[in-house]
Amino acid sequence: MQRASRLKRELSLLTTEPPPGITCWENENQLDDLRAQILGSADTPYEKGIFNLEIVVPERYPFEPPKIRFLTPIYHPNIDSAGRICLDVLKLPPKGAWRPSLNISTLLTSIQLLMAEPNPDDPLMADISSEYKYNKQLFLLNAKEWTEKYASQ
């Protein structure tokens, strides 16, 4: 019961006061199956891209983090080809930094931030990570190309 009322409150806040460049909604009226869109931030290779995400809210939420993955392909060192995201707030301690005080809005904002500032030292995609570190121009070119190919409307 607590989970449902918290999710309703979070979704209503995401609807009335969404973080800039982020939208989130229920998928087919399922409170535990959400969809989100993140707009690529200006001055990043993802600029003008619209990235779709799937959010699966576990039974034990907020004591367990939601499972979030990209549905739109994205060229990024911390996001793999299945859309999985390597981000500490998406994992439980001791390896992760998830806390019940965090919410879906915070997570989506953190993902948006990760898109703008990849963490090449904790990669899911080693090849993209070394490209980001040692040949940034090529990385930016590839990321921009993927954004135009998969994330433009």
Question: In the prediction, which pLDDT does 20 show?
Answer: 97
Active site residue 86: yes
Over 80: is that where the pLDDT of 1 sits?
A: no
Is 129 strand, coil or helix?
Answer: helix
How many beta carbons lie within 10 A of that of residue 127, not counting itself? 9
Question: 147 — phi, psi (to 5°)?
Answer: -60, -45
- Mean pLDDT of all residues in 15-43: 96
- Burial call 129-150: b when 16+ CB within 10 Å, e when fewer: bebbeeeeeebeebbbebbeeb
pLDDT tens by residue, 102-112: 999 999 999 99
- CA 23 to CA 151: how far, in whole Å? 15
Domains of the chain: 1-151 (3.10.110.10)
CA distance 75 to 80: 8
Q: Could you report the per-residue pLDDT of 52-97, keeping only the tens digit for each?
A: 999 999 999 999 999 999 999 999 999 999 999 999 999 999 999 9
Mapped onto helix, strand or coil, the DSSP state of residue 71 is coil
**Active-site residue identified among 55, 74, 86, 128:** 86
3-state SS assignment for residue 114: helix
Q: What is the pLDDT of residue 152?
A: 94
Using a pLDDT cut of 90, give the percent of the chain over it. Answer: 95
Neighbours of 60 (CB within 10 A): 11
pLDDT at 2: 85
**Segment (H or E) for 31:** strand 30-39
For the entire predicted model, the pTM comes to 0.96
In the three-class reduction of DSSP (H, G, I as helix; E, B as strand; rest coil), residue 56 is classed as strand
Q: pLDDT band at residue 41, thresholds of 50, 70 and 90?
A: very high
In the numeric block, which tokens belong to residue 134? 């040692």
Q: Quote the pLDDT of residue 153.
A: 78
* Nearest residue to 97 via CA among 88, 106, 85: 88
- The yes-or-no verdict on residue 23 having pLDDT over 90 is yes
pLDDT tens by residue, 136-152: 999 999 999 999 999 99
